[in-house]
């Protein structure tokens, strides 16, 4: 890191780093990219998918032929990606994905296009379409003014009583009569199946004892409302032990996120405001404005990009507006956290150590300094990707980690998937400012150790990622604490800009590959564009500041 008031320079022997970078990139390609391409997970492989337009046509055709659907509104069908993450998670945990895909995926997919057909009376029809063969794999009626979903939020006997009332006090025989045509279409007779639900219980569930993978059996599930068939879903069951495990892990992840990440990040934010004022003679309140505004814009673009997710949940326009207002306030708060972390962090390092972690553009050598930071960022990103690949292997062998799908964060559900990798810039700019530029120096004032401060701030940062669908939840913090310490070293060795470039390139490669694997030529080229975008940004800054040469590299 440079001394304040001294000519800008970056001492780096890039040859050994470049060798490590090449090794890291090879490890990443071998252990993450290649298995992903051949993986059984929809979100990371690139099968021959039908288009959303084809899915909509298949759904409308099915609705007209089988459900007496007729279009009563000019609104076009909404097509989103949905996943039975509980089923996928169980199969992933028990290493049953390959067996399931070979035997059942073509007829009973865990990943589907969900086509939502709205009606003028406020009701809607959701039809699940196979993403590869356009087969229909279930449907749900959402009647106007229905309280069914509200009843499902209840627990135990209260929920059952509410659902029975909503059904219209139907007998098991009446339910079976409505379900019989769909059972026959599935190739069964009721005599071939075991009825799981009992008289007096809501819904109707039949199970095929001979169609199973592991402890998971094929079930034909029906729900009812106002004495009508509400839904039909053929799906494989999930053992109660697995469900209980996931619920316990999710609760732990929520507590770790709220208390370990949220609370301590809030404390850092308050301290950043305090030290921005205390170090005002050593810093500038103008410098963080651009990056904070950029962060706000990216966050709002991402929120708007998730509009299909909100629509798929049946949210009204006013409800979506309310969500946008909430995220606007949240984004403003988060942008303020970035702003004061930039101002306070820069001031602390200059005041107490005489160091210059975030140089100004007017300083001599700034353009070349940024260019060198960008180059080092790419090298270190490749090293980090290799380290991550090795961490995944170790965690898999020791903690037996596994993951499941998360449709709410999938590019398939974004209005403009090509905007998704912009989040790499949001994470790189903000997290390096909060947890490295400000966090390390602030915590070091308390613990008196650079390593301890780096470990603490890396832990706080890592705990903010525990709600990802990776289990056991402790595996994600372990991975990111190690990665966080590596980012801390990059920051302490080279400064804020190099750590930002390393973080942005690291995320851009991961997000760029997820975009490239969406089976779309435009997304392929956009994924490549985002991977090279940090180089473009670094070079443009260099050209605009090239007249001030770097004194020593």
What does the DSSP assignment read for 429-448? HHHHIIIIIIHHHHHHHHH-
Does residue 43 belong to any structural domain of this protein? no
Q: Look-up: residue for tokens 């602030």?
A: 442
Please tell me what DSSP assigns to residue 539.
Answer: H
Burial profile 220-234: b = 16 or more Cβ within 10 angstroms, e = fewer: bbbbbbeeebbbbbb
- Are residues 276 and 417 located together in one domain of the fold? yes
Indicate the residue among 221, 242, 263 that finishes a domain. Answer: 242
Does residue 38 belong to any structural domain of this protein? no
Does residue 147 belong to any structural domain of this protein? yes
pLDDT of residue 200: 85
Are 477 and 459 contacting, i.e. CB atoms less than 8 angstroms apart? Answer: yes
What is the spatial distance between Cα 500 and Cα 378, in angstroms, rounded to a whole number?
Answer: 11
- Are residues 490 and 525 located together in one domain of the fold? yes
pLDDT of residue 519: 74
Does residue 265 belong to any structural domain of this protein? yes
- Are residues 267 and 315 located together in one domain of the fold? yes
**Six token digits for residue 237:** 């069951």
- Are residues 178 and 326 located together in one domain of the fold? no
- Are residues 293 and 360 located together in one domain of the fold? yes
- Are residues 184 and 146 located together in one domain of the fold? yes
Are 218 and 188 contacting, i.e. CB atoms less than 8 angstroms apart? Answer: no
Does residue 2 belong to any structural domain of this protein? no
Indicate the residue among 178, 207, 242 that finishes a domain. Answer: 242
- Are residues 215 and 288 located together in one domain of the fold? no
What is the spatial distance between Cα 376 and Cα 21, in angstroms, rounded to a whole number?
Answer: 10
H/E stretch holding 463 reads helix 450-463
- Are residues 490 and 433 located together in one domain of the fold? yes
- Are residues 463 and 364 located together in one domain of the fold? yes
- CB neighbours (10 Å) of residue 371? 21
Does residue 23 belong to any structural domain of this protein? no
Are 132 and 112 contacting, i.e. CB atoms less than 8 angstroms apart? Answer: no
- Are residues 368 and 427 located together in one domain of the fold? yes
Q: 203: phi > 0 → left, psi -120 to 50 → alpha, else beta; which?
A: left
- Are residues 232 and 304 located together in one domain of the fold? no
Q: Which domain holds residue 115?
A: 52-242
Per-residue pLDDT of the chain (553 residues; tens, 9 = 90+): 888 888 888 877 889 999 999 999 999 999 998 887 764 444 434 458 899 999 999 999 999 999 999 888 888 999 999 999 999 999 999 999 999 999 999 999 999 999 999 988 889 999 999 999 999 999 999 998 899 988 988 888 899 999 999 999 899 999 999 999 999 999 999 988 999 998 889 999 999 999 999 999 999 999 999 999 999 999 999 999 999 999 999 999 999 999 999 999 999 999 999 999 999 999 999 999 999 999 999 999 999 999 999 988 888 888 899 999 999 999 999 999 999 999 999 999 999 999 999 999 989 889 999 999 999 999 999 999 999 999 999 999 999 999 999 998 899 999 999 999 999 999 999 999 999 999 999 999 999 999 999 999 999 999 999 999 999 999 999 999 999 999 999 999 999 999 999 999 999 999 999 999 887 899 999 999 999 999 999 999 999 986 444 433 3
C-alpha dihedral sign at 86, 87, 92, 94: positive
Do the bridges between strand 194-195 and strand 355-356 make them parallel or antiparallel, or are there none, so unpaired?
unpaired
pLDDT of residue 41: 43
Closest listed residue to residue 551, CA positions, set 12, 10, 13: 10
Does residue 192 belong to any structural domain of this protein? yes
pLDDT of residue 468: 92
pLDDT of residue 38: 63
- Are residues 282 and 325 located together in one domain of the fold? yes
pLDDT of residue 453: 98
Indicate the residue among 198, 220, 242 that finishes a domain. Answer: 242
Are 125 and 111 contacting, i.e. CB atoms less than 8 angstroms apart? Answer: no
Does residue 22 belong to any structural domain of this protein? no
pLDDT of residue 44: 39
Number of domains in the chain: 2
Helices and strands, number each (H, E), in the chain? 20, 12
């Amino acid at each position: 890191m440079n001394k304040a008031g001294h000519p800008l320079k970056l001492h780096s022997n890039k040859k050994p780093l470049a060798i490590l970078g090449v090794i890291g990139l090879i490890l990443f390609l071998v252990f993450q990219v290649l298995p992903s391409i051949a993986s059984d997970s929809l979100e990371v492989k690139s099968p021959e998918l039908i288009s959303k337009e084809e899915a909509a046509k298949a759904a409308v055709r099915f609705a007209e032929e089988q459900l007496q659907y007729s279009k009563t509104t000019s609104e076009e069908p909404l097509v989103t990606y949905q996943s039975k993450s509980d089923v996928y998670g169980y199969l992933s945990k028990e290493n049953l994905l390959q067996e399931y895909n070979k035997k059942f995926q073509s007829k009973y997919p865990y990943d589907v296009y969900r086509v939502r057909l709205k009606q003028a009376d406020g009701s809607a029809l959701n039809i699940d379409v196979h993403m590869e063969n356009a087969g229909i794999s279930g449907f749900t009626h959402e009647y106007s003014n229905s309280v069914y979903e509200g009843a499902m939020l209840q627990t135990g006997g209260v929920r059952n009583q509410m659902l029975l009332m909503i059904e219209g006090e139907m007998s098991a025989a009446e339910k079976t009569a409505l379900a019989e045509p769909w059972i026959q279409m599935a190739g069964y007779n009721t005599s071939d199946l075991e009825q799981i639900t009992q008289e007096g219980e809501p819904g109707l569930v039949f199970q095929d004892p001979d169609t199973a993978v592991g402890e998971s059996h094929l079930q034909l599930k029906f729900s009812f409302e106002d004495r009508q068939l509400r839904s039909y879903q053929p799906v494989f069951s999930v053992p109660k032990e697995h469900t209980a495990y996931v619920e316990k892990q999710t609760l732990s992840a929520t507590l770790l996120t709220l208390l370990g990440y949220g609370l301590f990040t809030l404390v850092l934010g308050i301290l950043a405001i305090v030290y921005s004022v205390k170090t005002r003679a050593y810093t500038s309140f103008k410098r963080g404005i651009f990056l904070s505004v950029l962060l706000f814009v990216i966050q709002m673009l991402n929120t708007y990009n998730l509009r299909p997710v909100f629509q798929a949940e049946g949210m009204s326009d006013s409800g979506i507006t309310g969500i946008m207002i909430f995220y606007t306030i949240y984004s403003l708060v988060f942008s303020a956290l970035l702003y004061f972390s930039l101002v306070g962090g820069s001031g602390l390092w200059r005041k107490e150590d005489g160091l210059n972690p975030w140089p100004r553009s007017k300083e001599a050598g700034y353009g070349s300094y940024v260019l060198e930071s960008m180059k080092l960022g790419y090298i270190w990103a490749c090293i980090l990707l290799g380290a991550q690949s090795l961490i995944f292997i170790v965690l898999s062998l020791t903690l037996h980690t596994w993951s499941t799908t998360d449709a709410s964060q999938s590019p398939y559900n974004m209005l403009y998937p090509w905007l998704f990798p912009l989040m790499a810039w949001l994470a790189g700019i903000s997290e390096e400012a909060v947890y490295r530029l400000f966090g390390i120096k602030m915590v070091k004032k308390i613990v008196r150790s650079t390593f301890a401060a780096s470990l603490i701030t890396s832990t706080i940062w890592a705990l903010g990622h525990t709600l990802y669908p990776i289990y056991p939840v402790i595996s994600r913090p372990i991975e990111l604490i190690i990665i966080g310490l590596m980012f801390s070293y990059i920051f302490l060795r080279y400064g804020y800009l190099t750590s930002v470039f390393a973080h942005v390139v690291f995320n851009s490669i991961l997000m760029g590959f997820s975009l490239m694997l969406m089976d779309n030529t435009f997304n392929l080229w956009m994924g490549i564009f985002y991977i090279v975008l940090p180089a473009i940004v670094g070079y443009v800054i260099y050209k605009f500041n090239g007249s001030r040469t770097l004194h020593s590299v």
